[in-house]
Structure 1
Amino acid sequence: MSKIKCDHCHLEYEKEVMIKDYSLHFCCKGCQGVYHLLKTDGLDSFYDKLGNKTIAPPLEVDNDVEKFDTHSFEENFITTTNEGFKKIDLIIEGIHCAACVWLNEKVLFDTEGIIEANINFSTNKAKIVWDNEKIKLSQIILKIRSIGYNAYAYDATIADEKATKSKRDFFIRMMVAVFATMNIMMLSVAKYTGFFTGIDEQIKNYIHFGEFILSTPVLFYSGWIFFKGAYYGLKNRILNMDFLVSSGATFSYIYSLYILFGGKGESYFDSVAMIITFVLVGKYLEVIGKKSAVDTLDKIKSSIPLEATIIENSIKKVLPINSVKVGDIVELKDGEKASFDGELLSEIASFDESSISGEALPVDKQKGSIIYSGTINCESVIRYKVTKSYKDSTLNSIVTLLEDSLSSKPKIEHKANEVSKGFSVTILGLSLLTFIVWYFFGLDLGFDYKGTDHFEKSFIVAISVIVIACPCALALATPIASLIGISELAKKGLLFKEAKFIETLANANTLVLDKTGTITKGKLKVVKAKIKDDNIHKLNLLYSLLDSSSHPISQSVKKYLNEKYTLVNKELYEIKTISAKGVIAKYKNIDGKVFNLLGGNIKLLRDNKINYKFESKNSVYIFAIDSKVIATFELEDEIKEGAKEFVSNMKKMNIDVIMLTGDNEQTAKEVALKVGIKNYVFGVNPIEKAQFIKELKKENKCVVMAGDGVNDSVALASSDVAVAMGNSADIALSVSDIVLLNNSLKSLEESFTISKRTYKFIKQNLFISLLYNAITIPLAMAGFVIPLVAALSMSLSSLIVVGNSMRIKLKS
């Protein structure tokens, strides 16, 4: 039967099943439909990009897409952005070239309701953001299937399994290469001994044949990963390191075959095997280096419990963590780790929070306290109510942040990648030039290749140039150092949302600090109280008003009263919170008499026409009933341990420290003097804070802002790097670039120290890789390096970069 090519997928099929459409031919109605879809949407340039390559025909499976719109699927795989859009990571099957990526992105971008569609060609991982009111995920999956591809949700567990399988395959290929190369080396001893002392030609041919048998699986099995990498690179018009390795080994192999089958000269089967083996071993050691860098992430992920015991209608059930809902009651035994954030229901508990905050001593908890996922119950069996699902829990958020940061790139890496793009083309050009000069101009310098003819000498020198060049070291310089830096920062409780902030923090020259919760502990303490009327009824009204507010000042005064009196809550009504001033409310007693209550600062009293003079350098809370002041409280916020040393160390790093606070001048001045800050700004609201940051940036300053409250969120979003303290409000965490889990200024200092150290090693790595190539390539062109030594030195250059990056750990 005759065969014909489909005009869409380019696959051959029997002519008898052909679907004819004017002058076009299709193997199925799916291909016909896709072809006309692309034509209609103006995407027919896809076929120009595709060229002669084949693609899979459209999938006809569409009866299982309903699962993508189910609630359980959304809970497990879909997240919601700050703008209210839906987001998912998909793996798209069938992508094997840049044209496939282009087609999928183009079709998705042109689909109404899809906000963002980015596909990573190397991993086939796609990030899709869409408006759920305009299009459903099932429709997006069908759209992808309609053009011949398939998609499913990215699962980190599956990805880890594939990575483990890939690593195992890599190891087997390397061991095959090592075994064969060791045997070739034994044969080479005989060959090179005979080379200098005289050897029978037939014996030499036997040795060549033995080397051929051993080197062939090394080249075509162990070296397959280089051929594969070179193939995909060429398909995307990129000459990468894999191309240099595979071409250098292949040329040596072909030349050696010529010698084996009757040509004059020496074979280089040993060089073929050693080129592949040395590079494979070097690559494997790189993998080990990377593995040690991500051990922190692996350790965190492996520590997450997979099941939880919940209490439902007094019955215990063991459920997978993804099946536990907000509001469920979880039981935790002594020594068990919490999988969810929640509220303690037991009267007392003690938790090891070292994995979250770095605090070595157990933290005592009381009923109502917050339980963080990833922390360990230290005492008896306790129960707590789940307030955040596993997906939104603290521990899972840490893992997500780490994974995102490890996959991002600093600006300097983009620059290095730009340099390395043209590297391989330059090397091939230099290799060709070397061969021409040596062969046609009779150059006879460098290593004495005894017994070789002129062509062989020229050829081997040119091969050495290809093999010794190392774009790999250049490509590794930034990512391996960033990887180790991010890992070390994570160990210190510092979560960088993207690796690029290492570079920004390393180049920062201005640090702006919020006062409350950043420089100070954010835990106000009553240092002076004046209660003019200690009538228990009036104190109960004060207690009730304090209980209606979550403001730190109100809570601190409430705590003070609890320590002094036994008070009860009264039912208040018309409760109103006046921003930055206090709270007003009303109370009606059993006789029907109404009392007007007021609690807050002096501004609130003035607004309510209460003439009361009170001055203090501390924060103040004043309570009044029916315009009569009943009690006044002065509160002071303790400065964090090591705050003065922190400011001093920042100055030593040539970083200007500025305090930015909404407090009054007297309070701000006192705190600034205690910690050694000369430049401080007081009495500013959230908008003014943000405007101050913008003014600093106009002066070409690289600004880092650290804060913890809702009032800091606008300023944090305006800075170059936003740092949220561990106890920050949710909105401050959402706009931050770095999260300090343990809320310590020492950690903030370490973030600068490790970032600067990491950035220094990135620059060192780039210098090493450029210096290596600048020295070794001219030496190879001059004939001082044989292919064997070239392969070894190329691997060593990559290992030097990895080893140098490991030094980041030494002082971190």
Structure 2
Amino acid sequence: MPVDQRVVHSCYHCGARLPPSPVFVALDGRPQPFCCHGCATAAQWIRDADLGDYYRLRSDPGARVDAEAADLGAWDGKELLAEHTVPVDGGCEITVLTDGMRCAACAWLVDRALERTPGVLDAGANAVTGRIRIAWDPARTRLSAVLGQLSMLGYRPYLAGDPAAERQRVADRRQWLLRLGVAGLAAMQTMMLSEASYLDFGHHMSVPTRDLFRWFTLLVCTPVVFYSGWPFIEGAWNGLKRRHLGMDVLVAGSTLLAYFASAVATVRGGPHVWFDAAAMFVFLLLLARLLEQRARRIASAQVDTLARARPVLAVRERADGARESVPLSALRVGDIACVAVGEAVPADGELLDPQALFEEALLTGESHPVTKRSGDPVYAGTHCRETPARLRITGIGTATRLSQLTRLVEQAQAQRPPLAQLADRIGAVFVGGVLLAALAVYQGWRLVEPERAFEVALSLLVVSCPCALSLAVPAALAAASGALARRGILPVRAGALDRLARVTDLVFDKTGTLTRVHPVLEAVEAFDGMDEARACALAAALERDSGHPIAAAFAGEEEHLAVESLQLVAGQGLAGRIEGVDWRLGLAPFAAGRADDGQVWLGDGTRAFARFTMREGLRADAADTLRALRALGLTVHLASGDGAAAVERMAAILGIDDARARQRPEDKLALVHELQARGRTVAMVGDGLNDAPVLAGADVSLAMGEGAALAQRAADLVLTAPELMRVPAAIALARRTRRIIRENFAWAVGYNLIALPLAAMGRVTPGWAALGMALSSLVVTLNALRLMRRSREEHRP
């Protein structure tokens, strides 16, 4: 029987292009092509398990299945289970991550596949977050066997970060969804019951029937107000205790006022009730709150992406050459780790092999694998490619670059910028003004049409709820932070984006910023009986712990000399004692007492023993970056600690008019202050190693995220990848963010300027007021999400 022509060029399971000799398996009497035996086996199992609806329901192809079964025995380790599982009735529970779920059909398949796995008590997959919750009985099956079922279907498991916090987030989200569901069902029922009264234009409904409908409406509306609306009531109470009039005060006040006034009218047989307005108000506000939370979750997905980079176990080489699998917590600095092809590096280290290829896209955004040579740093979370590698561990746990990056992401998410605080203050004043206005409107209508006074005042309170005003800044900042994180730019200080949007001048450092971070030692000249090899060894020992980019030039030299009293002299060089002799390495006046020639000298302060000629290359995108910055209307300055010749040459190549050489950190700071005194807003771009004063003194600062820059805290933003084009991209996004925040504020203010007078004139019912308020909040949220859409449309530099 012929193969289905619609899928003849791609794998039936994963959609990958077929190899020259594909694998064919008969499914439902028809041979289907597969790219490998792994996908064929998965498809056969899905059919045999009567889960073939997966192929009908899915909207995207599945994940490719490895033909060789992954070794998941490490998941059964006692230390791992103790750290990442929690006890439940009948067994244990763990939450894992996977990057194979593409659509809701994947989650459906995972749920049903795990339900049919012996020993599994409960399971739940989330296609949006890529998380899978598994409860199993250890007495009946091992965790590795359960995860093997997932891996067989193409869903490779990874450890999730902070399982306790994730469980709390999942529980909170479920409760919010339950509150929304209760409010939605009750709001529909309330509207249906209220509609009967609204449509009784001729007043033909009998009073007992009307009262019966009202009592039913009271019963339906009560859980909406006191269960679904409890977060607003609790927030209002906490705000009042702090003497703060926030949005929740107005929300809870309006809801409770409508509910209790309607309840009193129901008991007394009054002419009007407003249960429908209370129920709709709570439902629509919950919906807007969930939309905001979703935007924040999308923006914070980077933390989960980083969590996936952590391997479960590490392979350690013992002194006798044998290898053993150990938990990451068992690794120590100095251990030798072995990384197989395709596996993640467990900790930071130095490569021991002559050469190896690593994929650093997660940490740096570099799309192509990076070639590392012996002695080069290798970072946790990167993946080994083509050949296995051995490395000596230099950083573990929180000292790894991956952990530092994770902390920066979390810090960026937790920040509360001044703009958001300003919006809160405006909101508090606005709430107070609305309460006074509602009281005045109520008194005015009491004089004109007393029977409508309460309804008009209630409509005013509802329609003016400052949800849009409160969401204007947080929604835009959440979307912008997510867009920046995907481009490898992390704002780590509050207000960084706002200040970046106002920048007029940029001051660049040269070494490690406009030039590549690792200079090359081009030539060595020895004097006064000094041997070149000995000079290099002395320089390597002094530079070993300096953290300066020049240290990379001596990485291949023997450096087993002990250094005592090492001292860094900012802008000058290094001083230290080796084998009882004082040595200096740095600028000629500092190290050798000679005139400055822009090279690195080794001496004792008065005599010269060696001169090192360094060659540093311009970053590939430096010229394009400066052109892009000028196109944005920015003025570029260069301030470098290097000699005049090197700085002038760099300025000529890049077309920089204001270039200053031999700039110490205090000189760079003086330049920033000079520009600020002229009314300019200054951004400093540096490597973060010895520029802490000027990074802190600039209006906003960006640090290159290579090496020690991730560990420093002087910068406002950190570029996790060595691509300068991300600087103009960040500025452009910051400007769009500021524009969208202004649009959100304009919408919120404009909406209230129109809605408040209409409500005060009695032209808006409480129900329509609730709908208008919700639509206003929705407009603000969707406008903020444009930031994420635009960032995806931009081509990566």
TM-score (norm 1): 0.68
For the residues of structure 2 that align with 1:304 and 1:756, how far apart are their CA atoms? 35
Contact in 2 for aligned 1:478/1:762 (Cα 8 Å): yes
Change in Cα spacing, 1:685 to 1:526, as seen in structure 2 (3 Å) is same
Which of 1 and 2 has greater Rg?
1
Deviation at 1:532, TM superposition (A): 12
User: Are 2:506 and 1:499 aligned?
Assistant: no
Partner in structure 1 of residue 341 of structure 2:
334
Partner of 1:131: none
| Separation (CA, whole Å) in 2 of partners of 1:159 and 1:260 | 45
**Within the alignment, does 1:658 sit opposite 2:637 as a pair?**
yes
Distance 1:487 1:573 in 2: 45
Q: AA paired with 1:436?
A: Q
Task: Say if 1:525 and 1:637, in contact at 8 Å, map to a contact too.
Answer: yes
Q: Do residues 724 (structure 1) and 709 (structure 2) align?
A: no
Q: Which residue, out of 442, 448, 465, partners 1:470? A: 465
Q: In structure 1, the residue corresponding to 2:201 is in which secondary structure?
A: helix
Which of 580, 597, 619 lines up with 1:640 in the alignment? 619
Partner residue of 2:191? 185
| Contact in 1 for aligned 2:225/2:278 (Cα 8 Å) | yes
User: Which residue of structure 1 lines up, in the alignment, with residue 422 of structure 2?
Assistant: 415
**CA–CA distance in structure 2, aligned partners of residues 460 and 236 of structure 1:** 30
Alignment CA distance shift 1:789-1:316 (3 Å): farther
Q: Deviations over 1:24-74 (max 9, x none)?
A: xxxxxxxxxxxxxxxxxxxxxxxxxxxxxxxxxxxxxxxxxxxxxxxx9xx
Give the drift of 1:462. Answer: 0.8
| Counterpart residue identity of residue 462, structure 2 | V
Partner of 2:364: 357
The residue that corresponds to 1:371 in the other structure is 378
- Is the alpha carbon distance of 1:318 and 1:391 closer, same or farther for their aligned partners in structure 2, counting shifts above 3 Å? same
Conserved 8 A contact 1:545-1:583: no
CA distance in 2 between counterparts of 1:643 and 1:484 reads 28
Post-superposition Cα deviations, 1:139-177, rounded to whole Å, max 9, x if no partner, equal xxxxxxxxxxxxxxxx95433332321221111111011
CA shift in 2, pair 1:607/1:237, >3 Å: closer
Q: How does 1:427-506 map to 2 (within 5 A)?
A: 427-442=434-449, 454-455=450-451, 457-506=452-501
What is the count of residue pairs matched by the alignment? 624
Does the C-alpha gap of structure 1 residues 697 and 238 become closer, same or farther in structure 2, counting only changes over 3 Å?
A: same
Alignment counterpart, residue 388 of structure 1, candidates 395, 398, 410: 395
1:313 Cα deviation from its structure 2 partner:
5.0
C-alpha separation between the residues in 2 aligned to 1:690 and 1:505? 18
Distance 2:397 2:628 in 1: 39
Match in the other structure for 1:518: 513
The change in CA–CA distance for 1:663 and 1:600 in structure 2 (over 3 A counts) is: closer
Q: Distance in 1 between matches of 2:563 and 2:264?
A: 98
Could you say which residue in structure 2 is the equivalent of 1:237?
A: 243
Partner letter of residue 365 of structure 1?
K
Distance 1:391 1:784, change over 3 A: same
User: Is contact 1:279–1:792 with CA below 8 Å preserved after alignment?
Assistant: no
Q: Equivalences for 1:215-364 in 2 at 5 Å?
A: 215-313=221-319, 316-364=323-371
* C-alpha separation in 1, matches of 2:189 and 2:467: 28
Which residue matches 1:808?
A: 787
Maintained 8 Å contact 2:513/2:685: yes
Q: Is the 8 A contact 1:356 1:741 kept in 2?
A: yes
Q: For residues 334 and 186 of structure 1, what CA distance do their matches in structure 2 show?
A: 63
Deviates more, 1:169-178 or 1:516-525: 516-525
The residue identity in structure 2 corresponding to 1:675 is L
Q: Is residue 412–residue 481 contact of structure 2 (8 Å, CA) maintained in 1?
A: yes
**Distance change >3 Å, CA 703–CA 728, structure 1 → 2:** farther
Return 5+ residue gaps in structure 2 as ranges.
1-78, 84-160, 792-797
Change (3 A) 1:629 1:178: closer
Q: Contact 2:504/2:680 (CA < 8 Å) preserved in 1?
A: yes
Q: Aligned pair 1:707/2:686, yes or no?
A: yes
CA distance in 2, matches of 1:674, 1:260: 82
Deviations 1:269-295 (A, max 9, x none): 222222222222222222222222222
Q: CA deviation at 1:307?
A: 3.9
SS state of the match for residue 362, structure 2? helix
Q: Relative to 1, partners in 2 of residues 1:557 and 1:214: Cα closer, same or farther, differing over 3 Å?
A: closer
Gap runs ≥5 in structure 1: 1-71, 77-154, 443-453, 588-595
Whole-angstrom distance in 2 between the partners of 1:574 and 1:205:
91
Judge conservation of contact 1:326–1:387 (CA < 8 Å) in 2: yes
Query: How far, CA to CA, are the matches of 2:616 and 2:573 in structure 1?
Result: 18
The SS at the match of 2:271 is: coil
Asked if the contact 1:547–1:554 (Cα under 8 Å) also holds between the matched residues in 2, the reply is no
List per-residue Cα deviations over 1:468-519 (Å, max 9, x = no partner).
Answer: 1122222222122112212211111112212311111112222111112211
Q: Distance in 2 between matches of 1:530 and 1:274?
A: 79
User: CA offset at residue 355 of structure 1?
Assistant: 0.5
Instruction: Report sequence identity in percent.
Output: 28
The answer on whether the counterparts of 1:373 and 1:394 sit within 8 Å (CA) in structure 2 is yes
Following superposition, the deviation at residue 318 of structure 1 comes to: 4.5
Q: Return the offset for 1:354.
A: 0.4
**Higher deviation after alignment, 758-767 or 396-405:** 758-767
Distance 1:575 1:409 in 2: 42
Deviations 1:769-789 (A, max 9, x none): 222222211211111111111
Aligned-partner Cα distance in 2 for 1:582–1:681: 23
Measured after TM superposition, the shift of residue 675 of structure 1 is: 0.8
Pairwise CA distance, 1:598: 12
Taking a change above 3 Å as real, the CA distance of residues 199 and 699 of structure 1, as seen in their structure-2 partners, is: same
The code of the aligned residue for 1:651 comes to: R
Residue aligned with 1:194, SS: coil
Whole-angstrom distance in 2 between the partners of 1:294 and 1:367: 36
Superposition deviation, residue 526 in structure 1: 7.1
Deviation at 1:632, TM superposition (A): 8.5
- Alpha carbons 2:688, 2:712 under 8 Å: kept: no
Moved more, 370-379 or 200-209: 200-209
| Root-mean-square deviation (Å) | 4.1
The aligned counterpart of 1:749 is 728
**How many Å separate the matches in 1 of 2:568 and 2:303?**
45
Structure 2 residue matching 1:385: 3-state secondary structure: strand
Contact kept? 1:526, 1:556, Cα under 8 Å:
no
Cα 1:789–1:307 shift into 2, 3 Å = farther
Q: Deviations over 1:677-714 (max 9, x none)?
A: 11111122333223333333333432211122644333
Q: TM-score, normalised by structure 2?
A: 0.69
Q: Structure 1 CA distance, aligned partners of 2:583 and 2:550?
A: 14
2:504 to 494, 503, 509: 509
Opposite residue 257 of structure 1, the aligned amino acid is: A
Q: Choose which of 680, 691, 696 in structure 1 pairs with 2:675.
A: 696
Separation in structure 1 between the aligned mates of residue 464 and residue 568 of structure 2, nearest angstrom: 69
The residue identity in structure 1 corresponding to 2:431 is S
Deviation at 1:296, TM superposition (A): 2.2
* Cα distance, 1:191–1:385 mapped onto 2, change above 3 Å: same
How far apart in 1 are the matches of 2:612 and 2:407?
A: 44
* 1:362 to 1:200, Cα distance in 2 relative to 1, 3 A: same
8 Å contact kept, 2:541–2:563: no
Distance in 2 (alpha carbons) for counterparts of 1:410 and 1:205 = 51
